[in-house]
Structure 1
Amino acid sequence: MGDQRERNRIKSRVDELPDDIRAKLDAMLADVNYTYQDIADAITAMGYEISRSAVGRYAMRHNSAARRLKEASEQTTALLQFIRENQDVESTELASAIMIDGLTRRIATADEDFDAMPLDKAGRLLVQLQRSTIYKERWRKERLAAIEAVERNVKARMRQAVQGDPDLLARLQKLVSDAAAEEAGRDEV
């Protein structure tokens, strides 16, 4: 791991500005009437020398962070709406979808940084995703087994209760079988 490249924290002249000056810079960036050169000149006039390119790099970082926050907010809103509309969706399925989406985005937008990701870390992420799928399948099988056990129990009790009327027993058992099949079918969605 000694020859692996380390990530360095981005340090900018803007990071050295006092909070009130940085707030003014942010306000000027939000106003489309100012160019990066106008902002650099204004900040320099306040006694803090800064270049146009430093303002531009800060704006790109700032916009990238704002875009990521906006995307996360939109995804959360869509996720909450999906949960409201699909109350029977398993939470591990949602978690897996979120993780797969995040991992796919990271792979798609990675340059050489992805190559620097330790293999064991990538492996752990994939194992976690696979484990989630296995747990969901195990939960589904256990749920189906429980439904079948309840169905058998109810049918046995019905046989005892209506021994004298085989037609009624057959109709009741069909109702129970249909309800069990309907409940088991909810997992297939």
Structure 2
Amino acid sequence: MAERRRTRVSSKVTQLPEDIKEQLDAQLLDTSNTYEDVARWLKSNGFNISKSAVGRYAIRANQAAQRVAETLERTKAIAAAVEKNPDLDFTKASRMVLMDGLMQRVSTAEDDFAEMPLDKAGRLIASLSRVGIYEQKIIRDYKSKMELAFEALEEDLIKAIKADPQITKELHTLLQKAREKILTDD
């Protein structure tokens, strides 16, 4: 039987009423409060929670806040890049951010094994690589189709020019003027 992995932490702190949890978060933001001070405050409000439990909760909350801040910074970087270059491919930029996050996860895998198995991160990286290869194939196919379309357009233009003696004469005159200008200007 497969071993069950814990994905969510359930503690006395997470079971607190929302208003108390908000006050707890505010107290934890104030660095003048120790975990022991916060545990005493909780006890005075009828919640018997140890300073260790408060500390563990604070660490988890700080880690979550750090992840949110890092994600926000990446999102701002993408927005700035898109603002500077409107032709930027959003999906490619998003994929790069996702790949960066996955590579960070893999590089610090020893800290994150409980949250994401290394083989899963590897599969996700492989999937993203396949998407990149597929994107390159689509771009090559698109360029090939565009080249064929331009060749067909060129053939149609040549046929149209040859079919109309007036256009042929005007084009010959324009080319003659360009040749003279190029050859006579220093």
* Same-fold call, TM cutoff 0.5: yes
Measured against aligned partners, the alpha-carbon deviations of 1:63-122 in whole angstroms (never above 9, x if no partner) come to 111111111111112112212222333344224312321211111222165498274x34
Q: Distance in 2 between matches of 1:142 and 1:77?
A: 33
With 42-51 and 126-135 compared, the bigger mean Cα shift is at: 126-135
Change (3 A) 1:5 1:39: same
Q: Distance in 1 between matches of 2:51 and 2:2?
A: 35
Q: Distance in 1 between matches of 2:29 and 2:173?
A: 75
Q: Distance in 2 between matches of 1:112 and 1:69?
A: 18
Match of 2:27 in 1: 28
Change (3 A) 1:123 1:109: closer
User: In the alignment, is the contact (CA less than 8 A) between 2:35 and 2:51 conserved in 1?
Assistant: yes
Match of 1:16 in 2: 15
Q: Distance in 2 between matches of 1:14 and 1:81?
A: 39
Change (3 A) 1:94 1:43: same
Change (3 A) 1:170 1:140: farther
Match of 1:128 in 2: 127
Give the paired residue count: 169
SS in 2 for 1:10: coil
User: In the alignment, is the contact (CA less than 8 A) between 1:159 and 1:169 conserved in 2?
Assistant: no
So what's the TM-score if we normalise by structure 1?
Answer: 0.75
User: In the alignment, is the contact (CA less than 8 A) between 2:27 and 2:38 conserved in 1?
Assistant: yes
User: In the alignment, is the contact (CA less than 8 A) between 1:14 and 1:54 conserved in 2?
Assistant: yes
So what's the TM-score if we normalise by structure 2?
Answer: 0.76
Match of 1:138 in 2: 137
Match of 2:82 in 1: 83
Q: Distance in 2 between matches of 1:89 and 1:114?
A: 35
Can you give the 5+ residue segments of structure 2 that lack an aligned partner in the other structure? 163-167, 177-186
With 72-81 and 12-21 compared, the bigger mean Cα shift is at: 12-21
User: In the alignment, is the contact (CA less than 8 A) between 2:43 and 2:49 conserved in 1?
Assistant: yes
Can you give the 5+ residue segments of structure 1 that lack an aligned partner in the other structure? 172-189
Change (3 A) 1:43 1:168: farther
Q: Which has the larger radius of gyration?
A: 2
Q: Distance in 1 between matches of 2:48 and 2:15?
A: 11
User: In the alignment, is the contact (CA less than 8 A) between 2:38 and 2:51 conserved in 1?
Assistant: yes
For residue 132 of structure 1, report the CA deviation from its aligned partner. 0.7
User: In the alignment, is the contact (CA less than 8 A) between 1:158 and 1:169 conserved in 2?
Assistant: no
